Amino acid sequence: MKKTCASLALVMVLAACGSETEKTETVTILTHDSFGITEEQIAVFEEETGYELITIAPGDGGVLVNQLILNKDNPQADGVYGLDTFIVGTVLEEDLLDPYTSGNLPDSATDLVVDESLTPIDQGEVCINVDTAWFEENGIAEPETLEDLREPQYAELLALIDPVSSSPGFAFLAATVAEYGDDWEEYWTDLFAGGARIASGWSDAYYADFSGADGNGPYPLVLSYSSSPAAAPDTDYLPSTCVRQVEYAGVVSNAANPEGAQAFIDFMLTEDVQASIPNTMYMYPVDDSVALPEEWQESASLSGDPIIVDPGTIDRGGWLEAFTELR
């Protein structure tokens, strides 16, 4: 009788240990290196779902796609966040994600859905930013359109970003293809001939080349974001040059924990996370019922009529090859 009770007690202890192990199941999310939610939000997610959140941030969106392709047969993550408009075409071609659209998706984001395997989480606009103080001090009218920028008087004042090495750089290249069609190479030829500079990345263009960031750069026009003026009060952006950039999340095909990935995607669309996106990732929420920070409302709201690029029309390799030959 004593042996039976002892055995029963041991079984109960082992069962309890097994239950604890199941309770701490992990969900692994592959993200770009600008991903950010607060420790408090992570705690809420883990408490509400029962999953321990693990994030892997190997680089930008292009790196995420490469990781998904390399690990297609043995995925290292359950979900992915940070796939933007200009790289999702490759994801869809390679069939890297399972169908899932979050039930938390607000009505304001339905027009951002491009495939049932991609849930829009946040959005932004890549735009030409202008140092308004510089133009006022020099008595020169600001440009207004993409067409204005190809004029030598403005091209020589313009700092752009290499589309080969930069996400905003490629977004702007895609915008010019969308606007100029087969004549896009001629447009870029005019920019180069006029003296436009090409920086390797956003930080170099904005903080080293742009006069509006700290007053030291020689270029009063720079490729950046519609959100940038929120941190630089003497700057603005040119609405007609803006191109929409949406960031998506998805469930990785053959994932070990697809339910956990779905829970993460749902959580990213909750009101608290959506409201924090401007401060944590410097993007705009896809839920337009969420109020933007006051400084964003004053000087960095979305343009309202951006250039829209269909991901299905993007020929990344072909465009970059043609661009490289132009330089």
Q: Supply the range of the domain harboring residue 108.
A: 25-123+246-299
* Average pLDDT, rounded, for the chain: 90
The answer on 168 and 97 residing in a single domain is no
User: Distance (Å, rounded) from C-alpha 269 to C-alpha 258?
Assistant: 17
Identify whether the C-beta of residue 91 lies closer than 8 Å to the C-beta of residue 97.
yes
CA angle 52, 56, 62 (to 5 degrees): 145
The answer on 163 and 99 residing in a single domain is no
User: Has residue 11 been placed in a domain?
Assistant: no
Question: pLDDT digit string (tens) for 175-213?
Answer: 999 999 999 999 999 999 999 999 998 999 999 999 998
Question: pLDDT digit string (tens) for 186-196?
Answer: 999 999 999 99
Question: Burial letters for 59-97: b for 16+ Cβ neighbours within 10 Å, e otherwise?
Answer: ebbbbbbebbeeeeeebebbbbbbbbbbbbbbbbeeebb
Question: pLDDT digit string (tens) for 96-136?
Answer: 999 999 999 999 999 999 999 999 999 999 999 999 999 99
pLDDT band at 23 (very low <50, low <70, confident <90, very high): very low
The answer on 170 and 133 residing in a single domain is yes
The answer on 136 and 76 residing in a single domain is no
pLDDT at 165: 85
CATH of the domain at 157: 3.40.190.10
User: Distance (Å, rounded) from C-alpha 58 to C-alpha 66?
Assistant: 10
* Helices and strands (H and E) in the chain: how many: 15, 11
Residue 4 or 203, more confident: 203
Identify whether the C-beta of residue 86 lies closer than 8 Å to the C-beta of residue 246.
no
User: Distance (Å, rounded) from C-alpha 232 to C-alpha 286?
Assistant: 24
User: Has residue 13 been placed in a domain?
Assistant: no
The answer on 74 and 89 residing in a single domain is yes
**Mean of pLDDT values over 51-70:** 89
pLDDT band at 215 (very low <50, low <70, confident <90, very high): confident
The answer on 143 and 239 residing in a single domain is yes
Structure-token pair, residue 247: 């960031």
User: Distance (Å, rounded) from C-alpha 195 to C-alpha 148?
Assistant: 14
The answer on 178 and 311 residing in a single domain is yes
pLDDT band at 285 (very low <50, low <70, confident <90, very high): very high
The answer on 184 and 320 residing in a single domain is yes
The number of distinct structural domains making up the chain is 2
User: Has residue 7 been placed in a domain?
Assistant: no
The answer on 111 and 177 residing in a single domain is no
Question: Burial letters for 278-316: b for 16+ Cβ neighbours within 10 Å, e otherwise?
Answer: bebbbbbbbbeebebeeebeebbebbeebbebebeebeb
**Mean of pLDDT values over 71-85:** 94
User: Has residue 154 been placed in a domain?
Assistant: yes
User: Has residue 74 been placed in a domain?
Assistant: yes
Q: With 80 as the cut, is the pLDDT of residue 11 above it?
A: no
In DSSP terms, 189 is beta-bridged to: none
User: Has residue 19 been placed in a domain?
Assistant: no
pLDDT at 24: 59
103 three-state secondary structure? coil
Q: With 70 as the cut, is the pLDDT of residue 25 above it?
A: yes
